[in-house]
Structure 1
Amino acid sequence: MNQSEQAVAALQRLIEQGELRPGSMVSERGLMAATGLGRTPVREAIQRLALNHMLRIHPNKGIEIPAISVEDQLSGLEVRRAVEVLAVGLACRRATEKDIAAIAALKATLAGGFDLHGYSETVRETHALIIQAAHNPYLEALMVPLQTLSRRFWIMHVRDEQAEIAHGKRLHRDILQAILLRDPDGAGAASIALNSYLVEFALSVVSRMAASHS
Structure 2
Amino acid sequence: MTEIGKAAQAYRDIERMVVFGQIEPGSLVSESFLMEQTGLGRTPVREALQRLSRNRMVEIHPNKGVLIPSTSVEAQLRMLELRRVLEALAVRLACERAVPADRVGMEEMVERLEHGGFDLKGYAETVRGTHDLIVAGAHNEYLADAMAPLQGLSRRFWFTHVTDVDTEIKAGATLHVAILRAILGRDPDAAEAAALDLNDYLVDFAYGTLSPRGRRR
TM-score tier after normalising by the smaller chain length: over 0.9
Q: Counterparts of 1:1-214 in structure 2 under 5 Å? A: 2-112=5-115, 113-208=117-212
- Which region of structure 1 is more displaced relative to structure 2, 141-150 or 90-99? 141-150
Q: Which runs of 5+ in 1 are unaligned?
A: none
Q: Distance in 1 between matches of 2:132 and 2:213?
A: 33
Q: How many residues align?
A: 210
User: What is the identity percentage for the equivalent residue pairs of Structure 1 and Structure 2?
Assistant: 54
- Which region of structure 1 is more displaced relative to structure 2, 13-22 or 60-69? 13-22
Q: Distance in 2 between matches of 1:29 and 1:174?
A: 43
Q: Distance in 2 between matches of 1:115 and 1:48?
A: 27
Residue by residue over 1:130-176, the C-alpha shift from the partner in whole angstroms, topping out at 9 and shown as x without a partner, is 11111111222221221122111111111111111111111000000
Ranges of 4+ aligned residues in structure 1 off by more than 6 Å: none
Q: Distance in 1 between matches of 2:118 and 2:36?
A: 29
**TM-fit CA distance, 1:209:** 9.7
Tell me, yes or no, if the aligned pair for 2:19 and 2:160 is still in contact at 8 Å: no
Residue by residue over 1:85-142, the C-alpha shift from the partner in whole angstroms, topping out at 9 and shown as x without a partner, is 1111111000011111111111011112212221111111111111111111122222
TM-score (norm 1): 0.93
Distance change in 2, residues 1:209/1:197 (3 Å): closer
Aligned residue type for 1:28: E
RMSD (Å) for aligned C-alpha atoms: 1.5
